Amino acid sequence: MRDFPAITADRVRELADQWDAVREGRSKDEADRLVRDCAERLTAEPTGEHAYLWTLGLLMTAEHTGWLTGDGVEGAALVALDAADTALRERPCGHRWHPYEDDLGERQDGLAHLLPLLRNGRSEAEDEQWRDTATKEQWLCPRNIAGYARVAIDVIDPGAVADIPPRLPLIDARKAQHLRSILWDYPNVDPAYELSDHAAALRDHPEGDGRAGLVVILHAACGYAVSGRIRGKWVLDEMIQALEAVLPALGDKPCAHRDGEHPRAGDDPAALATVGVHLLSTGGRGVYQWRGGIEGWHTPLEGWLCPAFLAGLAREALDRLLAGRGKLFGTRDTAHLDAEYLLPDGRLDIDTLTTTYRQSWVTEHDELVQNAALWAARRWAAGDGDERERAVLLLLACWAVDGMVIDIPRSVLGVLQEIFERVDPAPLDEPCPHPGGHPWEGLERLASRGYGVVGYRDTLIGAHLNHLCAPGDFEAPDEPFAPDAWSCPRHVAGRVRDALEVLYEVNESYEDDGDDAEGDADGW
Ligand SMILES: [Zn+2]
Ligand SMILES: [Zn+2]
Ligand SMILES: [Zn+2]
């Protein structure tokens, strides 16, 4: 037998950190050696004083062991864990409960911190670092160690042992974490790929065991997907295909459930997605049942799994995704806005337009401002109006781009870009035909005097544009600019160039997100 070095307190701390590094995927090269070492030690002394340490070491590294280990490593770990379980599980104890009976997910993260504390000689009360609800004795109890040995076996080889609490598979615990981070709007993964993975799983197995969970997840995520945060149309396409694939599989038969026997989707998508993840596996469904519900839902599991209920969710999600895809990536029709933005005599209703554009910073008005920008750009492109009106239309569309900056959907971006590129840039290199500076820079200068002197920047711009466009209807603002400076080709071309730069930048970020630049916003 190998001669093992002594286990000091420092050594325990060191081992715990190494195992934690394996768990977090930081120590891939070392992983197999560490797992083998634990297995060897535990097999040598499954009832020894350090059995707890090697068992918890195998538990911390179990996810690695179940995935990508070298030859014989998994087998060695399973033999060792089985030996510990067999040797320790029947030991008498007076505890009514052991930590292993809790979810692993909640305790897993704390193990590296907890391990060195177990035998540091301090009672729980004296140990200010001890935050676990169980006592150290409960942790070290042979039955607890046997229990964790079984949990580790279950992580490595799901379903191989009984007598453990139902467990959300670790991979699903990660999925739940990822989905919550996305839906809380602080994604720690790429939302596009995470959502499309779930969509692909459903599309490929519309009759599969994970169907209910995937439908619930897609429903929970559909609001996010159509919020404009997903830049790739392909993600929405995949979610839509998945729901279209599952609907026939769910059928359209009514069910025998009564009111209240189906859960409500609720208004917390992150919580709903967490339930969805639990519905993916036997282990997760077991957790739901064992705890009598999760995340505030207590409807019996049957309600969640009911095909009629799921079909309702799938249809709702599909409708939202189809509508959202149209708005974000389709061709937006703005012809109906003539009624909104033209006066009965055919002139621009400039006050309604500037009032709309002034709201660009209000998130809920995103779509309104985007459509108004499209309308103005298209009207310019159609060649309507006199020189002054045409300058106003371009200035309005450029102003909108200033306000939108980041979240300009594909459906808007492509059209604006195409139209702006038709504006002749030649005047940028030519002298101005008018004396004095350009109004837009002048407005920036006026606005910089501060809110107390000139009011809101956008209100100021609105007042100037109103007067420029309809001097008979709107009083001249303080320090007005000459009409020929407004419509100066160099002034307008400069504004258009700046707006195009913003659009190119956003376009690039779409391409970084893997979306095809061609084909979506064709025709304006
Ligand atoms: Zn015990
Ligand atoms: Zn039902
Ligand atoms: Zn000029």
Axis crossing angle, helix 142-156 with helix 73-88, rounded to the nearest 10: 150
101 shares a domain with 25: yes
325 shares a domain with 339: no
pLDDT in the model for residue 169: 82
523 pLDDT exceeds 50? no
C-alpha of residue 198 to centroid of ligand 2, in Å: 24
Ligand nearest to the CA of 441: 3
CB under 8 Å to 157, separation ≥6 — which residues? 66, 74, 78
314 shares a domain with 203: yes
Structure-block tokens of residue 489: 């080709």
Ligand nearest to the CA of 436: 3
Is 48 within 8 Å of 139 (Cβ atoms)? Answer: no
C-alpha of residue 431 to centroid of ligand 3, in Å: 7
Is 480 within 8 Å of 464 (Cβ atoms)? Answer: yes
349 Ramachandran zone, left/alpha/beta (phi>0; psi -120 to 50): beta
**Residue that is last in its domain, among 141, 164, 187:** 164
C-alpha of residue 55 to centroid of ligand 1, in Å: 16
2 pLDDT exceeds 60? no
Is 347 part of a structural domain of the chain?
yes
Stretch among 156-160, 196-200, 474-478 having the lowest mean pLDDT: 156-160
C-alpha of residue 498 to centroid of ligand 3, in Å: 15
CB under 8 Å to 368, separation ≥6 — which residues? 356, 359
| 211-237 pLDDT per residue, tens | 999 999 999 999 999 988 888 889 999
Is 18 part of a structural domain of the chain?
yes
How far apart CA 61 and CA 152 sit, in angstroms, is 9
Ligand nearest to the CA of 253: 2
pLDDT in the model for residue 367: 83
Ligand nearest to the CA of 391: 3
Is 2 part of a structural domain of the chain?
no
Q: Place 4 in a pLDDT band, splitting at 50, 70 and 90.
A: low
C-alpha of residue 289 to centroid of ligand 2, in Å: 18
521 pLDDT exceeds 70? no
pLDDT in the model for residue 518: 44
How far apart CA 139 and CA 473 sit, in angstroms, is 81
| 106-122 pLDDT per residue, tens | 688 899 999 999 999 99
Kindly state the helix (H) or strand (E) to which residue 308 belongs, with its residue range. Answer: helix 307-329
Q: Of 83 and 447, which is predicted with more confidence?
A: 83
Q: Place 303 in a pLDDT band, splitting at 50, 70 and 90.
A: very high
C-alpha of residue 204 to centroid of ligand 2, in Å: 24
Is 246 within 8 Å of 309 (Cβ atoms)? Answer: no
| 43-75 pLDDT per residue, tens | 999 999 999 999 999 999 998 887 777 788 999
Nearest to 283 by CA among 111, 175, 154: 154
CB atoms inside a 10 Å sphere around CB 453: 9
C-alpha of residue 250 to centroid of ligand 2, in Å: 11
Structure-block tokens of residue 190: 């790429």
C-alpha of residue 481 to centroid of ligand 3, in Å: 11
Q: Place 392 in a pLDDT band, splitting at 50, 70 and 90.
A: very high
398 shares a domain with 324: no
pLDDT in the model for residue 52: 97
pLDDT in the model for residue 93: 94
CB atoms inside a 10 Å sphere around CB 422: 10
**Residue that is last in its domain, among 298, 329, 360:** 329
pLDDT in the model for residue 301: 95
Whose tokens are 């400069």? That residue is: 494
C-alpha of residue 50 to centroid of ligand 3, in Å: 83
C-alpha of residue 215 to centroid of ligand 2, in Å: 15
pTM of structure: 0.68
C-alpha of residue 375 to centroid of ligand 2, in Å: 46
390 shares a domain with 322: no
How far apart CA 105 and CA 284 sit, in angstroms, is 12
C-alpha of residue 352 to centroid of ligand 3, in Å: 27
C-alpha of residue 457 to centroid of ligand 3, in Å: 22
Three-class DSSP labels, 114-158: HHHHCCCCCCCCCCCCCCCCCCHHHHHCHHHHHHHHHHHHHHHCC
CB atoms inside a 10 Å sphere around CB 326: 14
Ligand nearest to the CA of 492: 3
Ligand nearest to the CA of 438: 3
**Residue that is last in its domain, among 164, 198, 213:** 164
457 pLDDT exceeds 90? no
261 shares a domain with 385: no
User: What SS3 state is found at 230?
Assistant: coil
Nearest to 492 by CA among 419, 445, 425: 425
Average pLDDT over residues 263-280: 96
pLDDT in the model for residue 41: 96
192 shares a domain with 144: no
Nearest to 314 by CA among 390, 203, 398: 203
Is 39 within 8 Å of 72 (Cβ atoms)? Answer: no
Ligand nearest to the CA of 303: 2
Ligand nearest to the CA of 138: 1
C-alpha of residue 439 to centroid of ligand 3, in Å: 9
| 361-390 pLDDT per residue, tens | 666 677 888 999 999 999 999 997 888 999
pLDDT in the model for residue 520: 44
Split into its structural domains, the chain has a count of: 3
Is 298 part of a structural domain of the chain?
yes
Ligand nearest to the CA of 312: 2
C-alpha of residue 480 to centroid of ligand 3, in Å: 15
C-alpha of residue 252 to centroid of ligand 2, in Å: 11
C-alpha of residue 254 to centroid of ligand 2, in Å: 7
271 pLDDT exceeds 60? yes
Average pLDDT over residues 188-205: 96
298 shares a domain with 271: yes
35-45 per-residue burial string, b: 16 or more CB within 10 A, e: under 16 = bbbbbebbbbb
Is 519 part of a structural domain of the chain?
no
Structure-block tokens of residue 261: 């026997």
Full domain range(s) for residue 461? 335-512
Is 55 part of a structural domain of the chain?
yes
Ligand nearest to the CA of 144: 1
443 shares a domain with 498: yes
| 466-481 pLDDT per residue, tens | 999 999 999 999 889 9
pLDDT in the model for residue 361: 62
C-alpha of residue 88 to centroid of ligand 1, in Å: 10
124 Ramachandran zone, left/alpha/beta (phi>0; psi -120 to 50): alpha
Structure-block tokens of residue 107: 């305790």
Axis crossing angle, helix 489-512 with helix 439-447, rounded to the nearest 10: 70
C-alpha of residue 388 to centroid of ligand 1, in Å: 86
DSSP state letters, 452-479: HHH--HHHHHHHHHHHHH-TTTSPPPSS
pLDDT in the model for residue 149: 97
Structure-block tokens of residue 238: 């995949």
C-alpha of residue 470 to centroid of ligand 3, in Å: 21
506 shares a domain with 363: yes
Whose tokens are 């604006």? That residue is: 416
Percent of the chain with pLDDT over 90: 69
The neighbourhood of ligand 2, an ion, using CB within 5 A, equals 255, 257, 306, 308-309
C-alpha of residue 142 to centroid of ligand 1, in Å: 7
234 shares a domain with 307: yes
C-alpha of residue 257 to centroid of ligand 2, in Å: 4
Structure-block tokens of residue 400: 């909108």
pLDDT in the model for residue 524: 46
As a whole number, the mean pLDDT across the chain is: 90
CB under 8 Å to 438, separation ≥6 — which residues? 432, 485, 488, 490, 491, 494
CA 130 from chain centre, in angstroms, equals 34
pLDDT in the model for residue 12: 94
pLDDT in the model for residue 515: 58
275 shares a domain with 344: no
Is 517 part of a structural domain of the chain?
no
Average pLDDT over residues 148-166: 89
| 416-440 pLDDT per residue, tens | 999 999 999 999 999 999 998 999 9
